[in-house]
Every structure is written in structure tokens, then in C-alpha cells.
Amino acid sequence: MRLVKTIRELKQELEPIRRSGVTVGFVPTMGYLHEGHLSLMRKSVEECGFTVVSIFVNPTQFGPGEDYDRYPRDLERDLSMCESVGVDLVFAPGVSEMYEPDACTRVTVSGLTQNLCGRSRPGHFDGVTTVVCKLFNMVRPDRAYFGQKDAQQVAVVRRMVRDLNIPVEVREMPTVREPDGLAMSSRNVYLSPDQRRAALSLHRSLRTAADMIEKGERSAAKIRERMIDIILSSGLAELDYVEIVDADSLRNIDTLKGEVLIAVAVKFGQTRLIDNIKVVVH
């Protein structure tokens, strides 16, 4: 496995790969890898001849007062995890390699970013789409792998790819969970033991929603009410949102129908966690 830190080296490494016609898979990450990331890498290694992973904590997708500075970082550990699953190339640039001092170009997906995390993290998705567009142009992958845990992110990246005609196939892989149901996240390390226990209410609320739907409930209001009860009864939770939206447009719906995304965002102390499920309702 090769590690490169500059765009120039990245291009040098990728040129012969591309010329050989091998399929390139790409997993963009902010590092501090966990099983969720590894599942994306394994899929890429399985499906593609060459797998590139980027590790870059992107400052432009953090708002003021968010956790950019204290976001966990451990490159050594990340590299050995990448190597263990057969990644071919890791791209780990510094901030000044990624952004010129007078950079002034932004990619904005306006339609899907008003709701959910877009509402509580203004500017966040502009940071995401701009850096992902840059990385796609650097790596020029055939396929890129994203986790369903960040469902809105995948929807927004998918829309950008379609609208800008970026020649990449976006693959969305299932959320990987701890044995007790907590969705894997680099931010889970922030949690105290009490918060860690309270955080299980996210998954519990989503499972309850799935049960209600299976039993025939179609009212978004009733499902949300029950979910909010479960989350708040965990004691330590400060609710950001519990939303039931159309999985494609991300617009709120009153009555469940078609592919539905049920998404939650909750703060435990300083730590903001998100989780979701998708359900197809007939």
C-alpha cells in the first residue's frame, strides 16, 4: 500500500493505473476509521481493481463552534486499518495542499440541503460537495463508496454527481453498528459511559419506528412523537431533529409512502450524533 500526501504524487500514482484500464474505487473519509469505513473499503476492493482512500479532515464542512479542532485523528492507526483490508493507495493531504489561500469556488446543492442536517449546520454541505467534487477530480474514480449513516450526504453527493455530470458511480452501503445497535461514528469516542448508554435511544427509536410501520402506522406525526419520547426519556439527550422525509427529495412527508428516510440528530453534551433508517412503504 502506498501513502501520498500531495496531488502531484497522487496523479503520478494513478496515471499508469488509469492507462491500464483497471476500475478505480474510491472511499473519501475524514480518518479515525472504524468498521463502517472498512466495510466501504472492503466493498471497493471486492468490486474494483484499485482502491484509493482519502483521509482529510475538511475544515470547510465544519461550522464555527463545531468540533474541527478536536476531531479525532490517528493516521498511523488509519493506515494499518487500510492496509489490512487491501487498500492500494491512501491520499492524506494537508489543508494547504487542498485549498489555495485565495480559493473562491464553491459547489452548492441547494435543493436537498435546506432540511435535516442542512438546517442545523448551515454551510456544511457546501463544504462537503466542494471537497468531494475536488477529490473526484483528483482521483477520477469509476466508483465512490459512501455510508448510509450520512444519508443526506449521500443524497446530496448523488445529486451533485447527476447535475454536474460527474462520471462516477455513487455506491451507498449499509450503516455498520456496534453489537448493541449504536451506529459506528468517529465521534462516538467523545461519549462518556452515561452518554454512550443514552445514545442507544437513537437506534431504539428507529427500530420502534420500523415496528410501527410494519404494524401499519402511516402517520409521520405519530411515529415522530413516539421516537421523540424514546430519545428524550434517555435523559441526557438534547434533540436536534427527528424527521420523516421522502428518501429522494428529502422533503418532509405527512403520510408514509414509497421510499422513506427516517433520520435523527441528537446532542449528548457537546457530541452530535446522527442515525437513520430507510423503509419502503407500500
Residues at the contact surface with its own copies, assessed by CB under 8 A: 7, 19, 21, 100, 102-112, 129-130, 133-134, 137-138, 140, 159-160, 162-167, 249
Nearest approach in angstroms of CB 216 to its own copies is 31
Nearest approach in angstroms of CB 64 to its own copies is 19
Which is closer to its own copies, CB of 32 or CB of 125? Answer: 125
Nearest approach in angstroms of CB 25 to its own copies is 19
Long-range contacts of 9-17 (CB under 8 A, 24+ apart): 10/89, 10/91, 10/138, 10/139, 11/138, 13/89, 14/52, 14/89, 14/139, 14/140, 17/49, 17/50
Whether the CA torsion 191, 129, 62, 99 is positive or negative: it is positive
Nearest approach in angstroms of CB 166 to its own copies is 5
Q: What is the DSSP letter of 265?
A: E
| Beta carbons within 8 Å of 128's beta carbon, 6+ residues apart | 58, 61, 153, 156, 157
Nearest approach in angstroms of CB 156 to its own copies is 9
134 closest CA partner among 157, 115, 118: 157
Residue 37 annotated in active site:
yes
On whether the CB atoms of residues 127 and 135 are closer than 8 A, the answer is no
Which is closer to its own copies, CB of 119 or CB of 162? Answer: 162
Sheet holding 237-246, edge to edge: 237-246, 258-268, 271-281
CA distance 136 to 133: 5
Select which of 34, 37, 124, 203 is catalytic.
37
Which is closer to its own copies, CB of 159 or CB of 196? Answer: 159
On whether the CB atoms of residues 149 and 183 are closer than 8 A, the answer is yes
Which is closer to its own copies, CB of 108 or CB of 255? Answer: 108
Which is closer to its own copies, CB of 159 or CB of 203? Answer: 159
Residue with cell 461519549: 191
Positions annotated as catalytic residues are: 37
